[in-house]
């Protein structure tokens, strides 16, 4: 029987007490962990134009986007740089196998497994994210600090391309060894720094923004056709014609939009399609990417969705 990646904590306890609530450090999450990819192999992936990759170089975190030429890796400094490669689970089956250890979470919430390789001192700077992430230590050692909870009003430093925190206030600090894992809920400030050379496997679970969902939902509503619904004026007076838009108008707008969304079956079908849409739709033939979900319909039947389509 495979050891639980949550250690001594049950899946039920983790979901009730920690998931999207507070960080959790798990020592020996994978005993005797043998990382399925190393830094040289990761650099090889970063040469490929189909693979999304980045370099963060120096103490001031200068960002470069791949694909990279082989010569770039021969001109990097001896320390303080990090290579990050997205969705390594789509390109390396042995990395994808790590996902079987996270079967206590809905598979349609998964974003990807990003793998990073860092030379001593390498970091992407103190920052925060809007998604859940499990940081599994591969080779070597990384120092993790966590700090304050952040939001869109949190001040950021002037750094092109990276959302570095202007003020980072660490509250806890740990050294992670191979097989150790740190879970971070959304919006917690964190800063990881390589102690020597190391790899980290970041298993990220997507939390889409309301604006992102509304944009996609609008496209879905248009594709379904049907009779359009139009805005009806609230009671008007001549005086309202020359003044600011009255609150009653905004109330009618809100009512019209909410009425358009008052269809649970339609919302459920759209959400299943949205959450199973492939990360890289143009590369499915190469990656074999599969994202799936089941949906219980109003009549009690089960529909299956795969890669954004009903099957």
Q: Which CATH number does the domain housing residue 259 bear?
A: 3.40.366.30
Indicate whether 2 belongs to any domain: no
CA distance 151 to 63: 23
Print the domain residue range for 77. Answer: 11-205
Give the CA distances from residue 91 to residues 41, 152, 227, 280, 288, in Å, rounded to whole numbers and listed in that order.
11, 33, 45, 12, 9
Indicate whether 232 belongs to any domain: yes
Q: Same structural domain for residues 46 and 189?
A: yes
* Dihedral-angle region of residue 80 (phi above 0 means left; psi in -120 to 50 means alpha; beta otherwise): left
Q: Same structural domain for residues 182 and 236?
A: no
Indicate whether 274 belongs to any domain: yes
> Per residue in 138-164, pLDDT tens?
999 999 999 999 999 999 998 768 899
CATH number, domain at 18?
2.60.120.650
Indicate whether 110 belongs to any domain: yes
Q: Same structural domain for residues 286 and 180?
A: no
Q: Under a CB-based contact definition with an 8 Å cutoff, are residues 310 and 271 in contact?
A: no
Predicted local distance difference test score (pLDDT) of residue 158:
86
Alpha carbons within 13 A on the beta-carbon side of 86: 13
> Per residue in 240-269, pLDDT tens?
888 899 899 999 999 999 998 999 999 999
Predicted local distance difference test score (pLDDT) of residue 161:
80
Q: What pTM was estimated for this model as a whole?
A: 0.93
Q: Which residues of the chain have pLDDT under 70?
A: 1-2, 160
Q: For residue 86, which of 34, 58, 135, 46 has the smallest C-alpha distance?
A: 46
Helix ranges, 240-281 (H)? 247-260, 264-275
Q: Same structural domain for residues 109 and 224?
A: no
Indicate whether 17 belongs to any domain: yes
What is the number of structural domains in the chain? Answer: 2
How far out from the chain centre does Cα 153 lie?
20
Indicate whether 36 belongs to any domain: yes
CA distance 22 to 15: 11
Q: Same structural domain for residues 53 and 132?
A: yes
Predicted local distance difference test score (pLDDT) of residue 19:
97
Q: For residue 118, which of 35, 37, 199, 181 has the smallest C-alpha distance?
A: 199
Predicted local distance difference test score (pLDDT) of residue 11:
97
Q: Same structural domain for residues 152 and 249?
A: no
Predicted local distance difference test score (pLDDT) of residue 160:
67
Q: Same structural domain for residues 57 and 118?
A: yes
Q: Same structural domain for residues 144 and 230?
A: no
């Amino acid at each position: 029987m495979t050891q639980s990646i949550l250690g001594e904590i049950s899946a039920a306890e983790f979901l009730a007490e920690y998931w999207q609530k507070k960080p959790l450090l798990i020592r020996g999450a994978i005993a005797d962990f043998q990382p399925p990819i190393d830094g040289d192999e990761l650099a090889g992936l970063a040469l490929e134009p189909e693979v999304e990759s980045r370099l963060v170089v120096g103490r001031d975190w200068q960002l470069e986007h791949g694909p990279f030429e082989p010569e770039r890796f021969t001109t990097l400094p001896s320390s303080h740089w990090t290579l990050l490669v997205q969705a390594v689970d789509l390109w390396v089956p042995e990395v994808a196998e790590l996902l079987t250890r996270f079967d206590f979470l809905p598979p349609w919430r998964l974003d990807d497994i990003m793998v990073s390789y860092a030379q001593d001192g390498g970091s992407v700077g103190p920052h925060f994210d809007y998604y859940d992430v499990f940081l599994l230590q591969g080779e070597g050692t990384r120092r993790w600090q966590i700090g304050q909870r952040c939001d869109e009003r949190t001040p950021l430093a002037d750094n092109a391309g990276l959302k570095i925190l202007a003020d980072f206030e660490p509250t806890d600090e740990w050294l992670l060894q191979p097989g150790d894992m740190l879970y971070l809920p959304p919006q917690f400030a964190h800063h990881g720094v390589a102690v020597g050379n190391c790899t980290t496997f970041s298993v990220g679970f997507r939390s889409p923004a309301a604006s992102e969902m509304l944009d996609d939902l609008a496209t879905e509503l248009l594709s379904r056709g049907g009779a359009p619904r139009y805005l009806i004026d609230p009671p008007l007076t001549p005086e309202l014609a020359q003044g600011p838009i009255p609150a009653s108008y905004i109330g009618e707008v809100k009512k019209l939009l909410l009425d358009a969304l008052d269809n649970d079956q339609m919302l459920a079908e759209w959400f299943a399609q949205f959450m199973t849409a492939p990360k890289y739709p143009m590369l499915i033939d190469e990656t074999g990417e599969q994202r799936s979900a089941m949906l219980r319909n109003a009549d009690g039947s089960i529909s299956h969705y795969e890669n954004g389509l009903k099957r």
